Amino acid sequence: MTAEDRAWAADFEPCDICDLCGEVVGDDDLLGALVPDSSAVYGTDPALDGKRVLTACTVDHLAVLVEQYRARPFVAEELWAAKVRRAVAEVAPPVPLSLLAKLSGISEQEALRGIYWHNARAREWRARYGGADRACRGD
Ligand SMILES: [Zn+2]
């Protein structure tokens, strides 16, 4: 890091944005909540998989966001599909189901159900918007 980089970093105030309105909020004023979300997986902290960190500028905006996620169904197959997708990105194919499950931290049956769920969503998307006729193995 150069002296110029250090000077720039010293002037930088930690901040984030409100997930509802996009307002930039300094870390000292930022509000947050952790909510269930089957679409959320993290490469840096898999222990947070299935949970979404929400940030908001006000209590009212945080309440709206929490209510939105409360209304969203938690679909286990969606979470397993996301875990499989993350694992597949790290290895060269073909990947045996047993290895895929191990890398994903789930059972082979959960990995397979996640793949089926993903392929069903892909078929729905292609039926609606068109596109290549491809699916993951296992379906
Ligand atoms: Zn806001």
The answer to whether residues 104 and 86 touch, using CB atoms and an 8 Å cutoff, is yes
For 27-129, where are the E strands, in sequence order? Answer: 31-36, 51-56
Structure tokens at 71: 């209304």
Q: Ligand 1 mean position to 107 CA, how many Å?
A: 39
Same domain, 9 and 62: yes
The number of folded domains in the chain is: 2
Q: Ligand 1 mean position to 73 CA, how many Å?
A: 23
Q: Among the three residues 56, 71, 86, which one is the final residue of a domain in this structure?
A: 71
Q: Ligand 1 mean position to 16 CA, how many Å?
A: 11
Same domain, 61 and 100: no
Coil vs helix vs strand at 19:
coil
Question: For the segment 76-91, what is each residue's pLDDT rounded down to a tens digit?
Answer: 999 999 999 999 988 8
Structure tokens at 105: 């931290």
72 Cβ contact partners less than 8 Å away, ≥ 6 residues apart: 37
Q: Is the pLDDT of residue 36 over 80?
A: yes
Same domain, 66 and 84: no
The answer to the question of residue 11 being in a domain is yes
Same domain, 58 and 102: no
Q: Domain of residue 24: give its range.
A: 3-71
Q: Ligand 1 mean position to 31 CA, how many Å?
A: 10
**pLDDT score at 43:** 86
Same domain, 24 and 67: yes
Residues, Cβ < 5 Å to ion ligand 1: 18, 20-21, 23, 57, 61
